[in-house]
């Protein structure tokens, strides 16, 4: 089984301005790390309405339409993120086909990646664990199927 780890951080800039009438709306920022082969994705978790308006590609619009046909869009406690592939060597970021849904109430996190770099096509649901020691540069939640204490 491919090892995966998701770390979520409180967005310290939440609801601050970055332009006239423009606000930072992501409640949480974070990363998704996959191993074998190693890949990293960035996530920003928004309310459904703030997430939906960010759909740019046809595939993202298709995802939005498919979720609209379910009750997911009406669930107020759910947070949504598009996936951005991050290359640590070049520091480049590229939107990929995929998304994530985080439920703070049920402590579940769903991710679907479709055809990203290295032909990753996968989806999974992980249980979220809240971190006891929080603060600057420390995650507030972790979701994983691996032992994070082991060195890779």
Quote the tokens at residue 149: 């204490």
Quote the tokens at residue 30: 């974070």
What's the pLDDT at 11?
83
Single pTM value for the model: 0.86
**Cβ-based neighbour number of residue 80 at 10 Å:** 25
Examine the pLDDT at 22 and tell me if it is beyond 80.
Answer: no
pLDDT band at 151 (very low <50, low <70, confident <90, very high): very low
Q: Decide if 46 contacts 26 (C-beta within 8 A).
A: yes
**71-114 tens-digit pLDDT:** 887 788 999 999 999 998 999 999 899 999 999 999 999 999 98
């Amino acid at each position: 089984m491919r090892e995966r780890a998701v770390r979520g951080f409180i967005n310290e800039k939440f609801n601050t301005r970055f332009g006239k009438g423009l606000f930072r709306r992501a409640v949480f920022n974070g990363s998704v790390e996959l191993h074998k082969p190693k890949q990293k994705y960035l996530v920003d978790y928004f309310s459904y309405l703030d997430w939906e308006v960010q759909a740019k590609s046809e595939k993202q619009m298709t995802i939005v339409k498919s979720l609209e046909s379910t009750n997911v869009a009406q669930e107020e406690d759910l947070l949504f993120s598009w996936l951005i592939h991050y290359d640590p060597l070049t520091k480049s970021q590229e939107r990929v086909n995929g998304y994530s849904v985080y439920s703070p109430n049920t402590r579940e996190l769903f991710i679907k990646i479709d055809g990203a770099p290295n032909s990753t096509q996968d989806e999974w649901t992980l249980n979220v664990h809240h971190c006891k020691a929080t603060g600057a540069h420390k995650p507030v939640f972790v979701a994983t199927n691996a032992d994070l204490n082991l060195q890779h």
